[in-house]
Structure 1
Amino acid sequence: MSPLPIIFLKTKSSPTDPYDKYFAENPLEIAGTTYNAENIFVPVLQHQHINLSQLEKLVLGQNSEYHGMIITSQRAVEALGAVLDKHRETQEFLKITKVYVVGPATCTAVINLGFSASNVLGKECGNGKVLSQFILEDYNTCCESAATDRLPLLFLNNEKRGDIIPKSLSGVEEHRCVPLQELVVYETKVVNCFSEEFAKAMEATKGQERWVVVFSPTGADAAWDVLRDGINKEEDDSETFWASIGPTTEVHMIEKIGKRPDVVAARPSPEGTWNGIRDFMLKKIEQN
C-alpha cells in the first residue's frame, strides 16, 4: 500500500467530514498498487453571518413575495437557518417555498431545515452554469403553465460570489429573463494562520506525490500566495497536483493565477473529486 497525501483546503466538518470519510474508505487500485489517502485539512476561510435582520424581513415579512430562493453554499444555508430558528410558525413557508441548490450536500442541508424535499431542486446540476440553465427552464415553465406573475428569486450569497448565475439568468431573451434579488448573508476572510499551516502541510509531504484540493477561488489565491512568497521555493513541485471542486474555481485559477488544475471534479462531491484524481493517475501511469 502506498500513502497518497491529500491536502484539503477547507475546514474539516464535524462530527464527520464527507471528504475525509469517502477518501479514507475508498482506496485507489491503480496498476497493481493500492493508494490510501492520507487526508490533511488546512482551514482557509472563516465566515460571519451578516444582514440577518434584512433576511428575516425578506423571507418572513408580510410583503415577502418571491418565486423561490437560490442557495449554493452551506454558509448561506446556515444563515437562513439562524433566521428560521427564531420563528416557530414557519411551517407554511417551509412547505410552499421552492429552493434551487447546486449540489447534493446543499440539497440535504436545505431539506434538514424543514423545506419540502419535492421543492428543493437542482442537486444534480453540480455547478452554477448548469444550475442556471435548469432554473431558466423550470422558472419559465412554471410561470407559463400556471400563468403566474414573474416574481423574483432571492439569491443568498456572499460578497465574493461569482457572476455565472446572475449573468446567465439575465443574459437571455427578455421574456425568458429571471428577475433576481441578491442578498449577501455572510462574509469571508482568510484565517490568520493559513499561510503557516499550509506551509507545514507542504513541508510534511515534501518529496511525495500529493494532491491539493481547492474548494474556492479565495482558497486558490491564498495557497498560491504561500507558494509565490517563496515559503517552498526550493521544492520541486512536479509531484504536486491540483484538483478544483468545480469550474468556477477552475476558471479563476486559470485567469487569475495562471495555473490550470490537473483535475476538475465532474460533480462537487467527494466521489466526483476522488474519481477525477483516480482517472488522472491512471492516465498518467498509462502514458509512462
Structure 2
Amino acid sequence: MSSTTSDIPVLLLKTNSIPADGYQEIFASWNNYLPTFLPVLEHRFRQDALSWLKNITSTRGFNSVVAAPATESSFGGIIFTSQRAVEAFTSIVESLNPDTRDQLLPEALPLYVVGPATARGLRSLGLKCQIIGEETGNGAALSTFMLDHYNSLPTSQTVRQGQKLPLLFLVGEVRRDIIPKSLQSLELPQEARIGVHEVVIYETCEMASFHIDFARALEENTASGIKEQWVVVFSPQGCRAMLDCLGWLDEAGRYQPEVAESSPITTFVATIGPTTRDHLIKEFGYEPHVCAEKPSPEGIYAAIENYRSTNTRTQL
C-alpha cells in the first residue's frame, strides 16, 4: 500500500497472521490509516508436535463416531487461544486430502476459540466444524463456556469406549494454566470435569531484527513529514524494545516524558489489554494512551478512533 502525507501510520508490533489478519483488514479498509507489521517475537513451530498432530488427525483421532478404542490421541474438541496455534493447525489442515478432510474433522467437532481473531483464522479454512466461544474474550470465560457446552453435547460425541474424551489444547511454551485448572477443578463434580491434553506446538523468542526494523520505520515516518503515529503493543515482551527504540528510557530504564514530548512526531501508544498496559506502568513508569476494551482488531480500532476524536484532532 502506498502512503500519503495524510496517512496515519499504525505500527503493529506483531506478526502478520496467516491465513488472515483482522488488524490488516480493519485498518487497511480506511484510507487514513497505514498499518505496518513489525514482529517483536519470533514463533517457531515444533516439528515433532506438528508431526504428532498430523498423525492423530489422519488416524481419525478427532472423529468420535468411529468405532475404535479411546487412546491418547482421541479428542472430543480442540482449544485455540492464540494465532500461532491456529497457524500450526492450518498447516495440518492444508496438508490433508480434500476428499477425506471432512471425515477427519467432522461437523460435530467443536473448535473452541477465545476471541474473534482466532475464530476468523479458523473460519478461513472452510471446515464444517463448529467454531465457538469467540465472544468470551479470555481464558476464564472460555472455560466456563466449555464446561457448559461440552458437557451438554450428546455422549455419542464426547464418550468413546466408556471414556469421556479430553480436549486438545494447542499452546506455546509460555502460557497460563487457567483453562486446564478450570476444566479439571476438584471443586467440580467428577462427571463435569473435562480432561485437557496440552501440546506445546510452538516456541517463542525475541526477533533479532526488531530493533533495526522498528528504528527504520520510525525514521521513514519522520522523513515523510507526518505529525502523528500510533504504536500497538500486544505483549509485555514488546514493551521495553518499543520504549528503547523510541529513545524514551533513561539509564535506569524509566520513561522520560520530556524526551517524548520533544519529538517532531507525536507518538501514541495503544495496548491490546490491561496486562500489557499494567506492565508498561509498573516496569517503566509509562502509561499508554489507550487500552482496548476487548482484545481484538475491532477493540484496538475503536480505542484509537475514540481517542483521536476526543483528543488528537484538537492538538495537532
How high is the TM-score relative to the length of structure 2? 0.71
Q: Distance in 1 between matches of 2:199 and 2:261?
A: 40
> Equivalent residues in 2 for 1:83-94 (5 A)?
83-88=92-97, 89-94=100-105
Q: Which runs of 5+ in 2 are unaligned?
A: 62-70
Q: Residue 222 of structure 1 is aligned with which of 233, 236, 241? A: 241
Summarize deviations over 1:91-127 as a string: whole Å, max 9, x none: 323113211012233223323435325x211122333
Equivalent of 1:101 in 109, 113, 120:
113
Judged with a 3 Å threshold, the aligned counterparts in structure 2 of structure 1 residues 251 and 132 are, in CA distance, closer, same or farther, namely: farther
Q: Does 1:211 align with 2:207?
A: no
Aligned partners of 2:19 and 2:87 also within 8 Å: no
Q: Is the Cα–Cα contact under 8 Å of residues 76 and 166 in structure 2 kept in the other structure? A: yes
What do the CA deviations read for 1:118-158 (whole angstroms, capped 9, x no partner)?
x2111223333432332232233337998955432111011
| Alignment deviations for residues 173-201 of structure 1 (CA, whole Å, 9 cap, x no partner) | 23254321111111122222101221233
Structure 1 residue 161, shift from structure 2 partner: 2.3
Equivalent in 37, 43, 50 of residue 47 of structure 1: 43
Alignment gaps of 5+ in structure 1: 28-35
What is the letter of the counterpart of residue 52 of structure 1?
L
Point out the structure with max Rg over C-alpha: 2
- Once the two structures are TM-superposed, the CA of residue 225 in structure 1 deviates from its matched residue by 4.8
Instruction: Quickly say closer, same or farther: Cα 1:16–1:49, change in 2 above 3 A.
Output: closer
Aligned partners of 2:19 and 2:121 also within 8 Å: no
Give me the CA root mean square deviation.
Answer: 3.8
- Is the Cα contact below 8 Å between 2:169 and 2:199 reproduced in 1? yes
Give the match for residue 125 of structure 1: 136
What's the CA shift for 1:69? 0.8
Where does 1:157-168 land on structure 2 (aligned, <5 Å)? 157-168=171-182
Equivalent AA in structure 1 for residue 127 of structure 2: F
Matched letter for residue 80 of structure 2: I
Task: Report 1:195-274 matches (<5 A).
Answer: 195-205=211-221, 208-226=227-245, 227=247, 228=249, 235-237=259-261, 239-250=266-277, 252-254=279-281, 259-274=286-301
Residue 67 of structure 2: aligned partner: none
Q: 1:71 to 1:223 in 2, by over 3 A?
A: same
Q: Per the alignment, do residues 269 and 59 of structure 1 end up closer, same or farther by CA in structure 2, a change over 3 Å counting?
A: same
Secondary structure of the corresponding residue to residue 211 of structure 2: helix
In structure 2, relative to structure 1, the CA distance for the partners of 1:54 and 1:20 (3 Å cut) is: closer
Instruction: Give the CA deviation at 1:283.
Output: 3.9
Name 1:32's counterpart in structure 2. none
Letter in 2 for 1:39: P
Q: Share of identical aligned residues, percent?
A: 41
Whether the aligned pair in 2 keeps the contact of 1:170 and 1:179 (CA below 8 Å) is yes
2: CA distance, partners of 1:16 / 1:82: 13
Contact 2:85–2:170 under 8 Å retained in 1: yes
Q: How far 1:67 sits from its partner (Å)?
A: 2.2
TM-score, scaled to structure 1: 0.77
Q: Is 1:153 equivalent to 2:167 in the alignment?
A: yes
* Inter-partner Cα distance in structure 1 for 2:6 and 2:114: 34
Distance 1:136 1:225, change over 3 A: farther
